[in-house]
Structure 1
Amino acid sequence: IDRSMDFSTITRLDILIVAFWQVLLLFNVQLLMPIFLNYMPKQKCEGLTYHRAFCYDVQGRCNKCVQGCEESICVGNDTCFHDIKKNYIFHSAADDYGQFCNSNLRFIRVDTVQFLGLLLGTIASVLLAETYGRRRVLLSALCLGLPALFFSGEVNHVGWFYLFRFIIGLCNGAGLVVGWCYVNELIAAKKRALLRLLSSWPLARLIMTFVCYVFGDWRIATRTLVVLCLPLIPVLYFVLPESHVWMALRGHRLGYTNS
């Protein structure tokens, strides 16, 4: 039997590295959060009660009535009002900011802004990680990215919202490229299969989707995801060492031995 797949040899450090990578994936999966941030229902009702509510068909994901606004689509139909309210399952950033109603912002989507940040962050983080180390660059990205994630759910202006989502994209670039390189070098070569076996991108996406489903509001979901990802910073700062592979490549013998 190949001892490389013997689970009895797994140490607490191996478990910590795998758990760290899974939580880091939960931060990186913010790349898919625009699915929820841009969500708008097909129909919407303004008002809490049937008699005072104005219900309309949502056009182009705009958060206000655009066409057929003379009369509510639920006039004389109590069931219509309750069905629309029931199907309104998630309160999104698009509903708060109304960027799809603005012709200047309609084609500047939050996912485009975030993926632009990802592209730049990937290139920059790789260059920095080769010079300053995987751990240092990843820690810097988390210290910048998690506050940006938190504030993206607190601001009330769409411009600030886009800026923070761009910063999140930058940091996701470091999390995906430098993060994977870091944990892959840190864990023993014979146990690298654990990173694929026990942690995954689909699991991170499932957790994010579950959080959004439970809370039904993008701001509360964002705060919750920040809390879930916060342990990354103290674990990386106080527990996990710099990659010994990078230490060896840079000729840091003492650092290599300590790592």
Structure 2
Amino acid sequence: MLEVDKMLEKCGDFSRLQVFMLLLFSVINLLSAMHYYSQTIISFVPKYWCADGLDLETEAPDVSSCQPLNTNATGHETCHSYNYETYMGYQSFTSEMNWICGEAWKLTLGQSMFFVGSVVGTLVLGYLADIVGRLPILILANLIAMTGNLLTMFGTSLPLFCIFRLIAGFATDSNFLMMYILVMEYMRPSLRTIGLSVCIGVFYCLGSMGAPWVAVLMGSWRGFLLVTSLPFALVPLFYFIVPESVQWLISKQKYDKAMACLKRVAKINGRQLDDSVYAQFIADCKLSQQNTKTTPNLLDLFKTTRLRRNTFILFFKSMVITLCYDAVSRNVQGLGISPFIMFSLSATTILPACLILIALQDRIGRKAMASSSLLLSGVFISVTGIVLYTASNHNTTIVVTLSVIGRFGVTVAYNSAAQYATELIPTCVRGQGVAAVHVMGYAFTFFSAYILYTRTVFSPLPEIILGVLSLLGACLCLLLPETLHRTLPTSLEEGEKFGINEHWYTFSCMEKRSQSVMKLAPARDKSLSASTDSSFYF
């Protein structure tokens, strides 16, 4: 069978269309960053104190207080009104609704609904992506994100706030992931890492760093949601530029639409191909799929030995990375630094992390990058946690610096894992599979609070647990097959056989070196060299 990558090479796998798609992917990165951080930004809690019985000229206390200032610390008087010290005049949802002190549980409930929505939505939209296609779900997810945020502007009661945050969370991850999959599938394999990483590193970083300052500029949470939501209305226009996944169309045996997409790609890229080339490609696809199941689903990933093993490893890796990221975030709470500044500082790690991927991932391979980044992130977090404990009484600069270092290590691991999972899961269930991997990470953040609670037993214990989990994840990644310079699996059968002859110690960089050595071998060993090279897919 003529591989899809080979056919795309004829139609153009890094020309006008791919440039357009990278530009649109950059837009998606900006929008998804703003949407993801909207949950936290609208919920900022500024310094507050009870306003009962106070004159307008009364100075603000040093710390937030729920009790009237004229009572002692053990008093139980109820406060009826509060004053706030807003940062640069920004009024959050929390300060407007007075959801603090005894009412703080309402804000927590609303935030949890966003999380519930993200878990359910990622699974549902991922499933639908394998039924109706990547492009329709990309558009639908972004419209849901816009709708949820705009409705939140009117959700000033607890039931409405919870419902609207559930809707907004429903789109989280899918509004980014579908475009990620499409760009990856249409990009030349050798340029996937650099293309995707540059877009994420630059534009997701800019969106993350800029989100809190957009809120400050607008002055209120409603203005922030309005300004960051309206651009989502542009995403339906992607339909006229972005083609549907050819690999998905072929996996669903929609050969006419697959041929139409390929012709469209060739036309945009200025390539001229004979109809016989397309006809031969479709004929080869039909021949290879005569005995292929046409309606696979997520559960099929668990029916065969190697696919089941790989899927469980991807699940565990996602769980470890998400747990580590959440632990880093929780360890820097109460720093005494503005949340706006902290957001921007932590977001600066996104670009360097992506540059590390660009520099190393296509050199050492996906497996080596995933394993080493997990190992290094575990070391970063362990050292950070220990130093955070020993330096708890020192200045804020030390704590913030260590926090940023920890975030950097986790970001490298997360970005590496995202591409690895997308390449490793077969096309026919890629939407469901990648969504399930992400959801496992989201779902297991539930346990992060309990892991951190073990600090009451032994201070460094949370970091020890996370370090052991990271080390175990790094070891398990060695059991995954390499995807660098390989034709990605399309069907479940191809996914089961993918990398079947590899060993845990087989790395792409080692293969490259072996080939270089064999090229220098004497002519009498030429047949052995040729037979060995054929197994490396280079």
Please classify the TM superposition score into its range, dividing by the shorter chain length.
0.7 to 0.9
Letter in 2 for 1:41: P
Q: Which has the higher helix share?
A: 2
Change in CA separation of 1:163 and 1:51 when aligned onto 2, cut-off 3 Å: same
1:31 pairs, out of 31, 36, 40, with: 36
CA distance in 2, matches of 1:101, 1:126: 39
Instruction: Return 5+ residue gaps in structure 1 as ranges.
Output: 1-8, 72-83
Q: TM-score, normalised by structure 2?
A: 0.38
Asked whether the equivalents of residues 41 and 58 of structure 1 are also in contact (C-alpha less than 8 Å), the reply is no
Task: Tell me the number of residue pairs that the alignment of Structure 1 and Structure 2 aligns.
Answer: 231
**Residue number in structure 1 paired with 2:170:** 170
- Tell me whether 1:141 sits opposite 2:141 in the alignment: yes
Letter in 2 for 1:156: T
Asked whether the equivalents of residues 44 and 88 of structure 1 are also in contact (C-alpha less than 8 Å), the reply is no
**Residue number in structure 1 paired with 2:226:** 223
2:211 pairs, out of 189, 208, 211, with: 208
CA distance in 1, matches of 2:219, 2:156: 18
**Residue number in structure 2 paired with 1:74:** none
Letter in 2 for 1:39: F
Q: Greater relative contact order: 1 or 2 (C-alpha under 8 angstroms, separation 6 or more)? A: 1
How far 1:229 sits from its partner (Å)? 3.0
Residue by residue over 1:13-43, the C-alpha shift from the partner in whole angstroms, topping out at 9 and shown as x without a partner, is: 2232122222222333222223222212224
| Segments of 4+ moved more than 6 angstroms | none
2:237 pairs, out of 218, 234, 238, with: 234
CA distance in 1, matches of 2:166, 2:260: 36
1:15 pairs, out of 16, 19, 27, with: 19
How far 1:205 sits from its partner (Å)? 0.8
How far 1:184 sits from its partner (Å)? 1.8
CA distance in 1, matches of 2:223, 2:15: 36
Residue by residue over 1:207-251, the C-alpha shift from the partner in whole angstroms, topping out at 9 and shown as x without a partner, is: 32331232231111111111333322222x322221111111111
CA distance in 2, matches of 1:54, 1:161: 34
CA distance in 2, matches of 1:190, 1:210: 37
Q: TM-score, normalised by structure 1?
A: 0.75
Letter in 2 for 1:25: N
Q: What is the SS of the residue equivalent to 1:242?
A: coil
Asked whether the equivalents of residues 31 and 232 of structure 2 are also in contact (C-alpha less than 8 Å), the reply is yes
Q: Which has the larger radius of gyration?
A: 2
Asked whether the equivalents of residues 115 and 169 of structure 1 are also in contact (C-alpha less than 8 Å), the reply is yes
**Residue number in structure 2 paired with 1:81:** none
Change in CA separation of 1:186 and 1:37 when aligned onto 2, cut-off 3 Å: same
**Residue number in structure 2 paired with 1:196:** 197
Q: What percent of counterpart residues are identical?
A: 17
How far 1:56 sits from its partner (Å)? 5.5
Residue by residue over 1:145-204, the C-alpha shift from the partner in whole angstroms, topping out at 9 and shown as x without a partner, is: 212222212433232222122111111132243332233223343432212113333222
**Residue number in structure 2 paired with 1:79:** none
